Amino acid sequence: MKNNPVKEKFKQHLESYEFLSSSKIKFILNQITNIPKSFFDEENDWWNHYAINNSFGETLGTDWIFPSRISIPKLQKYLSLNKRNEIQVPLKEFIPQYSESNEQYLPSLTNILYTPSTEESASQGQPIIILKEFHGGLRVIDGNHRVSQAKEAKLENISAYFVNEEEIFEFHLFSSHYNEMTRKAFRIFVDEMNKYYGDTID
């Protein structure tokens, strides 16, 4: 990774934030830029993962966004072994995480974000899985097709399992160690930013 221009630009970007110490910058940089080959191999198995995009801001037209992938098979097995109760969730609580007009991310701490789809679900009838993120946001990480179909059918509720991000970390439900550490790096970034500005991410 020496003399890597992308790594150097990302380093300069992180250094532009007053709220990041040199030790935090070093940690984030090492976690994000030491990408193993297995990370790229996961793209051949994309349907078994849910990728959460971690945004570190942008500079000079570059969006510093790095994904952390959660393993859906690992998560489903975890929920099955722990016999999680299903919850009936009103479909009116779900909103698209991208606007139709400009495809911009729509953050929300009160609604459940999902990605609309016109494809037929192969898991019809199974509960969807909703993740509560560390900053309080809610998103569908398994079952976007089912939510879309339920809305199309004008149903009132849909069955769901809820899982929080702490469980994802505690039981190593990311698709790899790299994905787990990338998310950890992002959490540190957000925590330091919130301490500095005395605010909470939306």
Alpha helix segments (H runs only) across 16-143: 22-33, 37-41, 72-81
Confidence of residue 1 (pLDDT cuts 50, 70, 90): very low
Going through the chain in order, the beta strands assigned E by DSSP cover 49-59, 62-71, 87-90, 94-96, 112-114, 128-132, 138-142, 157-164
| Amino acid occupying residue 30 | N
64-73 tens-digit pLDDT: 999 999 999 9
The pLDDT of residue 2 is above 60: no
Strands 138-142 and 128-132, sheet pairing: antiparallel
Structural domain including 104 reads 1-202
Q: Residues of the chain with pLDDT > 70: what percent?
A: 91
Task: Report how many domains make up the chain.
Answer: 1
Q: Which residue in this structure is represented by tokens 């570059």?
A: 62
Q: Which of 25-39, 123-137, 171-185 has the lowest mean pLDDT?
A: 123-137
What is the reported pTM? 0.88
Of these ranges, 79-83, 114-118, 173-177, the one predicted with the greatest mean pLDDT is 173-177
For residues 175, 178, 184, 187, the Cα torsion angle rounded to the nearest 10 degrees is -80
Residues facing 95 on adjacent strands: 113
Q: Residues of the chain with pLDDT > 90: what percent?
A: 75
| Phi and psi torsions of 118, nearest 5° | -105, 0
Residues in contact with 173: Cβ distance below 8 Å, sequence separation at least 6, in sequence order: 70, 71, 74, 75, 78, 167
Find out whether 175 and 50 touch, Cβ atoms under 8 Å.
no
pLDDT of amino acid 102: 40
pLDDT of amino acid 108: 58
pLDDT of amino acid 109: 61
